[in-house]
């Protein structure tokens, strides 16, 4: 299992939200590029980069920062936030990202996302499944789609999706532990998916539990930004 540090951006700054609430935002002094360099210096190889301004606007705002990070580090970056069409996906890849994440668009226009799978390959596209009580939420986690998580995953599995990042909204940004039970259910039903956990991960014990369930990866945000975990003890997950 690999650790994937998360970096969320608003106004060109590193931020973290609690449960996706823009009114519960915390800004950090380190710039996104400097934080990415720090992560690489610590031995990390991946980065989950989210353009929160782009998510609200419906088009990426911080492609320049994505390009800077990819130029200044060797991190393998997956990018999300406002990616709504094929042309934008091409721009994201031109900036150096290795993968793109499709969240709300996968609900609103699944045909478009399936076209990305055909055009760019399944290794390049991550399905974002943001859930609360096993129901998919969109529009910055504010709108319930009433679509059951397992129906959503089954539809995209049939279309060839390989990578899925599943975020439990109720856990995100709270440092209260991961939804291991939910991920266990997903793994049992869809063992072939490369499942990435997101939300609430903040201890080595969290990581051990997720690894035991056969997760592909674990996204860690606030716990890394605020030094809640001993980096020296995370080496086993970096490689």
Q: Which of 8, 51, 78, 172 is catalytic?
A: 8
pTM, rounded to two decimals: 0.92
Q: What is the pLDDT of residue 238?
A: 67
Closest CA to 60 of 36, 32, 90, 30: 90
The C-alpha angle with vertex 145 and arms to 99 and 199, in degrees rounded to 5, equals 50
Topology of the domain covering 2-238: TIM Barrel (3.20.20)
The single-letter DSSP state of residue 147 is E
Which residues contact residue 5 at a Cβ distance below 8 angstroms, ignoring those fewer than 6 apart? 39, 44, 46, 47, 48, 219, 220, 221, 224
- Tens-binned pLDDT, residue by residue, of the chain (239 aa): 999 999 999 999 998 776 556 667 788 889 999 999 999 998 999 999 999 999 888 899 999 999 999 999 999 999 999 999 999 999 999 999 999 999 889 999 999 999 999 999 999 999 999 999 999 998 766 788 999 999 999 999 999 999 999 988 876 555 566 889 999 999 999 999 999 999 888 788 889 999 999 999 999 988 888 887 777 777 666 65
Spans of all domains in the chain: 2-238
Strand pairing of 143-148 and 135-138? antiparallel
Choosing from 34, 41, 78, 130, the catalytic residue is 130
Looking up tokens 């823009």 gives 22
Percentage helix, strand, coil, to 5, in the chain? 40, 30, 30
For the question of residue 133 being annotated catalytic, the response is: no
Whether 8 is a known active-site residue: answer yes
């Amino acid at each position: 299992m690999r650790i994937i540090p998360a970096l969320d951006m608003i106004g060109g700054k590193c931020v973290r939200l609690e449960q996706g609430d823009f009114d519960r935002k915390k800004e950090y002094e380190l710039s996104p590029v400097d934080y990415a360099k720090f992560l690489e210096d610590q031995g990390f190889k991946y980065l989950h980069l989210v353009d929160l301004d782009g998510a609200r606007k419906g088009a990426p705002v911080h492609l320049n920062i994505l390009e800077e990070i990819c130029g200044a580090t060797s991190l393998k970056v997956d990018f999300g936030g406002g990616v709504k069409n094929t042309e934008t996906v091409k721009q994201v890849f031109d900036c150096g990202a290795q993968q793109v994440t499709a969240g709300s668009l996968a609900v609103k226009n699944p045909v478009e996302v399936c076209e990305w799978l055909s055009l760019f390959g399944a290794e390049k596209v991550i399905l974002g499944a943001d859930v609360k009580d096993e129901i998919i939420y969109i529009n910055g986690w504010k709108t319930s789609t009433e679509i059951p998580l397992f129906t959503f995953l089954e539809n995209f599995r049939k279309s060839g999706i390989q990578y899925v990042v599943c975020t439990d909204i109720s856990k995100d940004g709270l440092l209260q532990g991961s939804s291991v039970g939910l991920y266990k259910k997903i793994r049992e039903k869809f063992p072939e998916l490369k499942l990435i956990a997101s939300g609430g991960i903040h201890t080595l014990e969290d990581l051990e539990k997720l690894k035991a369930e056969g997760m592909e990866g674990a996204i860690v945000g606030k716990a890394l930004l605020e030094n809640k975990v001993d980096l020296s003890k995370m080496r086993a997950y970096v490689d």
